[in-house]
Structure 1
Amino acid sequence: MRAFKQPPILGKTLLGLAVAGTLGATQVQAGEVEVLHWWTSGGEAQAVGVLKELVEAEGHSWKDFAVAGGAGDSAMTVLKSRAMSGNPPSAAQINGPEIQEWGELGLLGNLDDVAEQGDWDALLPEVVADMMRHDGQYVAVPVNVHRVNWLWANPEVFADAGVEVPTSWDEMFVVGEQLRAAGYVPLAHGGQPWQDATVFESVVLSLGGSDLYRQAFVELDAEALESDTMIEALTTFKRLRELMDDGMPGRDWNLSTSMVIGGHAAMQIMGDWAKGEFIAAGLEAGEDYVCAPVPGTASDFIFNIDSFAMFRVTDDAAREAQQTLARLVLEPEFQSAFNQVKGSIPARPDLDMSEFDSCAQQSLADFQGASEGNTLVPSMAHRMAMRSDVQGAFFDIITNYFNSADMTAEQAAERLVRAASVAG
């Protein structure tokens, strides 16, 4: 693999924004915005730093409240504790249906004025805008759109082993044996519940298509959850353990990505935040690493939308800082700079993508194609498809099945049905 280059330099973009922001900062009352998020890996930390600089350039102060943990489980635990004590942060990374749960508690602020000024209704795809509203009012702002069903590969590893990146599960297992024989870990993975669920939902989509996926994970339909296709997906999912290494349990996702970057492993199934790690390592898409849809999902798109929800504040300066944060998040300069570092695509589809890499350009095209073809589905593993309590039950079943030598696919399916029926 070629020598690492320095990560992309955003200085000129941020300098220009800082000058503009400083000029505008004299017109507003400076306030503090405390932001809870779980962006702590190398690429993610660099990405959130972009937003911090922009907020501070407008005269406000940013109080960072970062809680490590890939899918945000630890962050949500801390947020609930803070909220129950009557001291939530002014802004928090909250995704999907959980925005509605917090809205129902009456704790979220209203962003309609900012949304009207920025014409969010016309700007955002409907599937994105819907996630940001509670009772018809904007309470959150989208940062990006992630594609979850990505396969990341190291081309030098594949070349050395004399094999091609697989496009089907049958090929995956054949190629995996050859990669193992060549001295590589075929599939890098971190044995954490959310990572197990990330792989599992892609397998379900590949074998059952978007219709079965929605029936199972959005509608919680018992027939879909115990169907022959679901049994096949569970069986294929567990078989993937054969391609992983013994150090998998408990490994953080970015360490698995590093295994691919460093040439120790050949592949990883992970959302496109993994690309932020490749970017931070100075690598180029299509040359130093390969992105491909998970086998069987080329026309499908599992989406995860990162967003910031705003909690009610009584202080005028704090509210001004909140609204500034919300406005900045959707401005073109931030959307472009942030998402090029983070690995995702902009939440607004009207931006010039010529400066984005080939993976991002493919992701946007696939997002638009899936939207038109009705094959765009919300991520079960990343808080997009179901309530948090149901998701937690599904996580337990999926990861217990994946790590059990005794539980059958049929038994796992039965447990998913029971968990769904309790939720209903």
Structure 2
Amino acid sequence: MKNWKLAAGLLLSVALPSQAFATDLEVTHWWTSGGEAAAVAELAKAFDASGDHWVDGAIAGGGDTARPVMIARITGGDPMGATQFNHGQQALELVQAGLMLDLTDVAEANKWREVVNPVSLLDGCTIDGKVYCAPMNIHSPEWLWINNKIYEDLGIPVPQNWTEFVASAPQVEAAGKIPLALGRQPWQSTLAFNAITVGVGGLDLWKKVNLDKDMEVAAGPDMLKVFQAAADARKLAVKSTVQDWNQATNMVISGDAAGQIMGDWAQGEFAVAGKVAGKDYTCLPGLGLNAYLSTGGDAFYFPKLSDPDQEAAQKRLAALLVSPEVQVAFNLKKGSLPIRGDIDMSSANDCMKKGLEILKSGNVVPSGDQAWSPDVQTQLNDMQSEFWSADMTPEDAQARYVEILKTGL
């Protein structure tokens, strides 16, 4: 009943026509792991309770698999009601082609510019002064997740940063454990490298390369140190043969691996497994070396539909996704941070509270998706995947890295 009242109020605030019957909306996304499915269930429950109906269109395999399918359907004349993309430039060409619904009236009626924090997330949805997406969450990929029991059994302290983690690797290996779990999808290699960039090289280095686009720095000695550290890290992950990120997370949860570099969404998997932050596992933002957040995450876009009833339902869903109640319910299950700065997150676990404190401090930067085009991101993913799975030297990897970045200038 509470959800219904909230949704009803949102419908009034957006000044949409009243519903005579439930409207079905297919929503495509790539959230299929245990923690992700639990979070999506919260969205479906809220939308169904509002009087409409969520038709789930989950696509397994992650964003790299799902996005081409989503884009092909939209450009091919078979659009869904709503679809997930990451914050950044992934849907830019679809918007420019006139294929996405303008949500400016929803954003203004619900005062999104006043409540979205940081407001750069809304700016990422805004093109030529019009809002085209509903920001859903803030995800930070630069976390180190550690199984505490492995270190308790070894009789040594749980590492509190990346340097200590690497130093503990020989003892972990001697105990028959894999030091670092890493899935074989290309984006996971890029994520690990970017985390090491900030952890080893520092936040200023990341900003100079990714925001200032300084190619001399990208080709310089500080970045070479990052590639050398990544080469050392790949030795720790050499026996990790799983494919998906959540399989790698499960290696840490089950005690087969000591740690994983992965985004804050990993804590959704720990929660489903009944693990307690600070007791069963340790979470270290910025690899415990440089605590910061990159304000990436997920947003929902709404392809243009010919049915006016469906368009009205799309706007009702957009308003609902940014509503306080849905933001709390979804993000508590997902492990991500809410995009609203005016809601009560006192029930968050220790890891989420760390993220909220960093967000409050303002120590945030844009995500790689916001800094570079999808083409550059794809090339980087392919290069990093090769680097982490082969014997490419740090020097050769750095040279290729710089050449790829130059294509995005």
Q: Distance in 2 between matches of 1:87 and 1:412?
A: 41
**What secondary structure is seen at the aligned counterpart in 2 of 1:106?**
coil
CA contact (8 A) 1:24 1:58 kept: no
Q: Distance in 2 between matches of 1:186 and 1:390?
A: 30
Q: CA deviation at 1:129?
A: 1.5
**What secondary structure is seen at the aligned counterpart in 2 of 1:98?**
coil
- 2:61 is matched with 69
Q: Once structures 1 and 2 are overlaid, which stretch shifts more, 57-66 or 294-303?
A: 294-303
CA contact (8 A) 2:7 2:320 kept: no
* TM-score, scaled relative to structure 2: 0.92
- 1:387 is matched with 373
CA contact (8 A) 1:99 1:132 kept: no
After superposition, the CA RMSD in angstroms is 2.1
**What secondary structure is seen at the aligned counterpart in 2 of 1:346?**
coil
* TM-score, scaled relative to structure 1: 0.89
Q: What are the residue-to-residue correspondences of 1:113-262 with 2, within 5 Å?
A: 113-124=105-116, 125-248=118-241, 250-262=242-254
Deviation digits for residues 216-240 of structure 1, max 9, x if unmatched?
Answer: 2344432122111111111111211
Q: What are the residue-to-residue correspondences of 1:233-382 with 2, within 5 Å?
A: 233-248=226-241, 250-295=242-287, 297-369=289-361, 371=362, 375-380=363-368
Q: Which runs of 5+ in 2 are unaligned?
A: 12-16
Picking from 103, 106, 109, the partner of 2:95 is: 103
| Matched pairs, number | 401
Q: Once structures 1 and 2 are overlaid, which stretch shifts more, 340-349 or 165-174?
A: 165-174
Aligned AA (2:138): V
**What secondary structure is seen at the aligned counterpart in 2 of 1:345?**
coil
- 2:28 is matched with 36
Q: CA deviation at 1:20?
A: 5.8
Q: Distance in 1 between matches of 2:135 and 2:9?
A: 26
CA contact (8 A) 2:291 2:358 kept: yes
Q: Which runs of 4+ in 1 moved over 6 A?
A: 22-26
Q: CA deviation at 1:377?
A: 2.0
Aligned AA (2:372): M
Deviation digits for residues 56-107 of structure 1, max 9, x if unmatched?
Answer: 112222222111123x011111012112212222211112122333222221
Aligned AA (1:384): Q
- 1:12 is matched with none
CA contact (8 A) 2:201 2:225 kept: no
CA contact (8 A) 1:218 1:386 kept: no
User: Against the structure 1 CA distance between its residues 415 and 289, is the aligned structure 2 distance closer, same or farther, given a 3 Å change threshold?
Assistant: same
Aligned AA (2:70): L
Aligned AA (1:90): G
Q: Once structures 1 and 2 are overlaid, which stretch shifts more, 394-403 or 331-340?
A: 394-403
Q: Which runs of 5+ in 1 are unaligned?
A: 1-14
Q: CA deviation at 1:416?
A: 1.7
Q: Distance in 2 between matches of 1:22 and 1:144?
A: 23
Q: CA deviation at 1:183?
A: 2.4
Does 2:389 match 1:398? no
CA contact (8 A) 2:25 2:313 kept: yes
